[in-house]
Amino acid sequence: MPDTLALSQLAQAARAARTRAYAPYSKFRVGAAVLLDNGASVVGANIENASYGLTCCAERVAMFAATAQHPGARIVAIAVSAGDDTHQHDSDHGRMPCGACRQVMMEFMPEDAPVWIDGVGAMPLSSLLPTPFKLRTDI
Ligand code: THU
């Protein structure tokens, strides 16, 4: 379980990552940062597409990048910060991660891992998705 300092550094990284969003369509910027059990952290931001459905959320960009860059490492915490272009310095309080990202979190994080959400605080992943879909029984 990451300590308070590690979580607050992760929160700052997620806020900073909002500037990296590619969001010309929604103009809604989301930053995410994940902490790994090897001590590394990886950031992500939402990446949109002219074919809207191809958009990928910041949380998944961060988790997929971390998984590709650190094979075998486990994600132990994630921080998310969201806002639109007119409020780039004040996070849009209480923007919760979407359901798809919660399911992906369940794949790569322990179910009691902290999910820090700007304006909300940290909560265990299992409280955000109490009944995830499970295919494998060995993880
Ligand atoms: N978005 C995220 O990055 N994370 C979420 O959990 C929900 C939504 C992005 C996708 C899209 O670029 C924009 O926010 C508006 O839906």
Q: Which residues contact 26 (CB under 8 A, 6 or more apart)?
A: 48, 84
Query: What's the Rg (C-alpha) of the chain?
Result: 14
**What pTM was computed for the model?**
0.93
CA 134 – ligand 1 centroid, Å: 24
pLDDT greater than 60 at residue 91: no
Q: What confidence score (pLDDT) does residue 86 get?
A: 62
Report the distance separating Cα 28 and Cα 38, nearest Å.
31
Of residues 51 and 92, more confidently modeled: 51
CB of residue 48 inside a 6 A radius of ligand 1: yes
Q: What confidence score (pLDDT) does residue 94 get?
A: 73
CB of residue 57 inside a 6 A radius of ligand 1: yes
Could you tell me what percent of the chain has a pLDDT over 90?
86
Just list the catalytic residues. 59
Of residues 85 and 126, more confidently modeled: 126
CA 62 – ligand 1 centroid, Å: 13
